Amino acid sequence: MIEFKNVSLTYPNGHQGLKNVNLKINDGEFIVVVGLSGAGKSTLIRSINQLVKPTEGELIINGKDTLKCNERQLKEVRRNIGMIFQSYNLVKRMSVLRNVLTGSLGRTGTFKSLFGLFSNEDKELAMGSLARVGIDDKAYRRADQLSGGQQQRVSIARALTQKPNVILADEPVASLDPPTSHTVMKDLKKINKEDGITTIINLHFIDMAMEYADRIIGMREGEVVFDGPVSEVSEKTFEEIYGRPIKEDDIIGAE
Ligand SMILES: Nc1ncnc2c1ncn2[C@@H]1O[C@H](COP(=O)(O)OP(=O)(O)OP(=O)(O)O)[C@@H](O)[C@H]1O
């Protein structure tokens, strides 16, 4: 379980990215975080693996307050958390397979990985992960030869190779067209259901959030202003989260 207890985050310039956030995220949940640009969605997601570090409160993961962890303990926490970024963050000149294998770095160690000394088990896991997102036929292509949607699936496969308990996805479909966005969201949902990996995603588009989320967390100006199952969410909920009427641009569109 991940628990935020009175968590606040003040950036060095004094801006408050999170204001007294209290949340309990159970194992295996599929959560979508929504809110206008600048609401604090990325800050919330990135605070879980401390890409940004909250300045107050407790952030408890599996019983341990991670804000009190030393570097070594934090590394261990991060090993169990896969991260997916809007811009994929692949090493462009490396093969797809090699990129995916970097997910097993936590087990292999940097030195061995520099020489490509991954175990057969890790190689099988990497190929299996690529197969799960339907691109094992691209394993030996250079990462930058793939389309955006394929590159995002490589980054999902890389996260899977880490054998995480949690996947954080920070705007994973913001650079993709609507059909590709749906493919990527379906992959993430399938993996969540099959492996029980807790998945927390922030999304801009209302229809995507409604289609894929089990639970929606709404943010405005650093605060959690809505938290509930998707069955309790209506257009009015979004208007309250956004603080304005819904516009056509808030919808990504059908597949
Ligand atoms: N490093 C930083 N230093 C100062 N302020 C920051 C920093 N990073 C983010 N912020 C500010 O914190 C607020 C929340 O940013 P965040 O990126 O979490 O929002 P978001 O909801 O994810 O927005 P978007 O949808 O545009 O990505 C914004 O006002 C942003 O300008």
pLDDT, tens digit only, all 255 positions of the chain: 999 999 999 999 999 999 999 999 999 999 999 999 999 999 999 999 999 999 999 999 999 999 999 999 999 999 999 999 999 999 999 999 999 999 887 776 666 666 667 888 889 999 999 999 999 999 999 999 999 999 999 999 999 999 999 999 999 999 999 999 999 999 999 999 999 999 999 998 999 999 999 999 999 999 999 999 999 999 999 999 999 999 988 888 766
CB 123 within 8 A of CB 101: yes
Task: Report the pLDDT value the prediction gives residue 243, as an integer from 0 to 100.
Answer: 92
Nearest one of 127, 185, 184, 189 to 158, comparing CA atoms: 127
Domain contains 139: yes
Q: What is the residue with the minimal CA distance to atom 1 of ligand 1?
A: 11
Roughly what angle, to the nearest 10 degrees, separates helices 178-195 and 148-161? Answer: 10
Instruction: List Cα–Cα distances, 181 to 7, 19, 28, 29, 175, in angstroms.
Output: 31, 31, 22, 20, 9
Task: Report the pLDDT value the prediction gives residue 111, as an integer from 0 to 100.
Answer: 64
Task: Report the pLDDT value the prediction gives residue 49, as an integer from 0 to 100.
Answer: 96
Domain contains 223: no
Give residue 17 CA to ligand 1 midpoint distance, Å: 7
For ligand 1, residues with CB inside 6 Å are: 11, 13, 15, 17, 35, 37-43
Give residue 196 CA to ligand 1 midpoint distance, Å: 30
Task: Report the pLDDT value the prediction gives residue 106, as an integer from 0 to 100.
Answer: 76
> How high is the ipTM of this complex?
0.96
Give residue 44 CA to ligand 1 midpoint distance, Å: 10
Q: What is the residue with the minimal CA distance to atom 29 of ligand 1?
A: 38
Residue 237 CA to residue 243 CA, distance in Å, equals 10
Task: Report the pLDDT value the prediction gives residue 107, as an integer from 0 to 100.
Answer: 73
Task: Report the pLDDT value the prediction gives residue 203, as an integer from 0 to 100.
Answer: 94
Give residue 41 CA to ligand 1 midpoint distance, Å: 8
Domain contains 137: yes
Domain contains 154: yes
Residue 76 CA to residue 34 CA, distance in Å, equals 29
Host domain of residue 106 = 89-163
Give the number of domains in the chain: 1
Atom of ligand 1 nearest to the CA of 43: 18
Residue 203 CA to residue 254 CA, distance in Å, equals 15
User: According to the 3-state scheme, what is the secondary structure of the chain?
Assistant: CEEEEEEEEECCCCCEEEEEEEEEECCCCEEEEECCCCCCHHHHHHHHCCCCCCCEEEEEECCEEHHHCCHHHHHHHHHCEEEEECCCCCCCCCEHHHHHHHHHHHHHCHHHHHCCCCCHHHHHHHHHHHHHCCCHHHCCCEHHHCCHHHHHHHHHHHHHHCCCCEEEEECCCCCCCHHHHHHHHHHHHHHHHHHCCEEEEECCCHHHHHHHCCEEEEEECCEEEEEEEHHHCCHHHHHHHHCCCCCHHHCCCCC
Domain contains 97: yes
Task: Report the pLDDT value the prediction gives residue 251, as an integer from 0 to 100.
Answer: 87
Task: Report the pLDDT value the prediction gives residue 249, as an integer from 0 to 100.
Answer: 87
